Structure 1
Amino acid sequence: MTALVLPFPRSRDRGFILRHAGIMAGASTTRKAEGHLQRQLTIQHETLVRRGVAPVMVDAELRTIENNIRAARWRFLLAPGGAA
């Protein structure tokens, strides 16, 4: 039996997730926030492909990163004293 392991997954990097969620929450428009997220996902995609990660794992990791950033963004926006 073999397992595919993604060392140091960005989706588990709390600092990375919170940093980009904060940038999105503080963006002046939704368009700018979405643009930032798409740029970050593109960077992560290029990095994972360059490291030779299997395409299926790249897609799964990017979905997880996106979902985690979006969830953290909403926590920032809805929390008392948040970015809103």
Structure 2
Amino acid sequence: MIVLKISNASELVAAKLGKFLESLTPDGLDQATVEDILLKELIKNLASEGLKGEVASVKGLDLEGSKLVISETLQVRRHQSF
């Protein structure tokens, strides 16, 4: 299993859309948007290499150094097989 943590979603949205629009969107929306785009591209690339599997965007799971932290409100936000 691979865990990927995106730590600069707000900055990426600001760079792509501009500071004004970024200030109007909550950080949670930024994170979800970047995760959705990343999952779409990841699935496309992995499938083109012949790999099969599943990928999910999970809310309530965090990486803190070498520890995986699970909150009480763990929720799979998006799941897709490829």
Shorter-chain TM-score tier: 0.3 to 0.5
Q: Give the structure with the larger helix fraction.
A: 1
Q: Give the structure with the larger strand fraction.
A: 2
